[in-house]
Every structure is written in structure tokens, then in C-alpha cells.
Amino acid sequence: NLDGWTGLDGSPARWQVRDGYFEVVARTGDIQTKQTFGDVQLHIEWAAPAEVVGSSQGRGNSGVYLMGRYEIQVLDSYNNKTYYNGQCGAFYGYNAPLVNACRKPGEWQQYDIVFHRPVVSGTKKEPGSFTVFQNGILIQDHIPIPVESTVAAPNQELLSKGPLFLQNHGNPVRYRNIWVRPL
């Protein structure tokens, strides 16, 4: 259910819930968890639409954001070409996955993510990292999260926690079996 989720403005999450999963509904916005997290292990299962419509970024597009800002791309990349750091499993805009591990459209897929947040405090700067398995295959291997990309102003401290955020890109992507273990 969506009891632990809200819209980004704090309103109730308006995605559709049925048969043990919830699904992106067009024009209902992104959703985020009420609970916030820092360093975590995340398991999440998702499925792109079974009917193939569109190409490149217009096909099964969504995203899983850690701390509300660091995205692992959700995309139907099964026989679907797009730019290298925007394909399924990419640390979006920064790093392409090691391999395309996508199953056929409509099939359930899983991400197992180990996330360590970046730390900026005064002059101390430590990059965070992602390790991601898709369907049991390593696709991101301890990829650094550039500190420079996360700080808006010099000497600004980052939050220690933020929500898990799921993107509504207008494609009816489904999610289920989500669990988070703080590290």
C-alpha cells in the first residue's frame, strides 16, 4: 500500500495500488517516503509496461532516487538504444551500467542497491558511492558520487538523510517488494 508514501508536496500519494504492487499513473506526480534514510541497502522490484510504446527515454521511464537526489535510472532498455548514462541501471547522468541486464518488457526486475551518502562538513569532503545489482548481476561497482555535484554553495553541509523518491515520467511502471535497511 502507499501508507508510507506522499506526493512531493506532502499530499497523499495518488498512484494506483492493485494485486500487490503500485503503478505510476500519468499526471499524479512523483512520490516519496515519509521516512528518511542515509546510508542504506535497498531492495526494489519494478516492471516496465508489457506493451512496448516509444523508444529511447520514452519507454518505461522512471527512476529510484536515494535521499531524494541521487537517481538510479529505471528504463525499458531491452532492445532499446539510448544515451550511455541514461540507460537502465545508470547512475543517471554520471555513470553507465557495466552491462545491460534488462529482462523483456512486462517482466519483473529487481534492484539491490548499497548506497553510501556523500559527506561534506566544513573542509572535509568524502564522496558517496553506489553498488547496484540488477536481477542478480553487478551493474554498478562502488561508483563514486561526486561531492561537487551535490553541493549548491561552498562549505554547505549535506543533509544526513532524505526520502526514497520514485519518479513519475508518465510511463506506467510498476513497483513492489520494497525494503530498506539502514547501514
Counting Cβ atoms within 10 Å, is residue 143 exposed (0-12), middle (13-18) or buried (19+)?
Answer: buried
Residue-by-residue pLDDT tens, the chain, 183 positions: 899 999 999 999 999 999 999 988 878 889 999 999 999 999 999 999 877 666 555 567 889 999 998 999 998 876 777 767 778 899 988 999 999 999 999 999 999 999 999 887 777 788 899 999 999 999 999 999 977 655 444 444 567 899 999 998 778 899 999 999 999
Which residues partner with 121 through β-bridges? 124
Tell me how far apart the alpha carbons of residues 61 and 72 are, in angstroms, rounded to a whole number: 11
Round the CA-based radius of gyration of the chain to a whole number and report it. 16
| Contact predicate 112/41, CB 8 Å | yes
Task: Give the pTM.
Answer: 0.89
pLDDT at position 41 is: 98
The contacts of residue 134 (CB under 8 Å, 6+ apart) are 88, 89, 97, 101, 102, 109, 110, 111
Tell me how far apart the alpha carbons of residues 48 and 52 are, in angstroms, rounded to a whole number: 9
pLDDT at position 149 is: 55
Tell me how far apart the alpha carbons of residues 84 and 95 are, in angstroms, rounded to a whole number: 8
Tell me how far apart the alpha carbons of residues 90 and 94 are, in angstroms, rounded to a whole number: 8
